[in-house]
Structure 1
Amino acid sequence: MKQSRAMSLVEAVVNVAIGYGFAVVTQILVFPIFGLHTTLAQNLKMGAVFTVVSIARSYVLRRLFEAIRVR
């Protein structure tokens, strides 16, 4: 059975939210290992930037592969 558009949207939103959370937690744990000390607010902002970049990358790659498939 095919996934509905609504469930596809829910899956995408949950995926992005979980990815954002993982990014922020990873930054909090890894940055100090490299001598980088940031505030929670800075980590949240950087996580948001990485999330936007990730969404854009995923979109571009999906469109590219769809163009290849159509050829």
Structure 2
Amino acid sequence: MTQSRRMSLLEAITNVAVGYALAVTAQIIVFPWFGLHPSLGENMALGAVFVGISLVRSYALRRLFEAVGKR
């Protein structure tokens, strides 16, 4: 069974949203261990940059695997 482009995008968005929440939480916990003390807003902004990168990566890889799977 193949996955539609829409479902691939929905899966990628869900994956990234969960990852974003985990990443910001991890940053809040881990950054102080390394002497970094960003504000909540800075943590969220940094997380947002990586969300964009992760969303594109997840979607592209899903589509690549779908294409390879059809061969």
Query: Which runs of no fewer than 5 residues in structure 2 stay unpaired?
Result: 1-5
Cα displacement (A) at 1:65:
0.6
Question: What TM-score results when the alignment is normalised by the length of structure 2?
Answer: 0.71
- Extract structure 1 runs of 4+ deviating beyond 6 A: none
**1:26-59 CA distance string (max 9 Å, x none):** 1010111112221111101011111111111111
Give percent identity, aligned residues only. 59
- What is the CA RMSD across the aligned residues, in angstroms? 2.4
Distance of 2:21 and 2:41 partners within structure 1: 13
The equivalent of 2:17 in structure 1 is 17
Query: Which runs of no fewer than 5 residues in structure 1 stay unpaired?
Result: none
Q: Does structure 1 conserve the Cα–Cα contact (< 8 Å) formed by 2:12 and 2:55?
A: no
Which protein has greater RCO, CA pairs closer than 8 Å, 6+ apart? 2
- Answering whether residue 38 of structure 2 is matched by residue 60 of structure 1, we say no
Count how many residue pairs are aligned between Structure 1 and Structure 2: 65
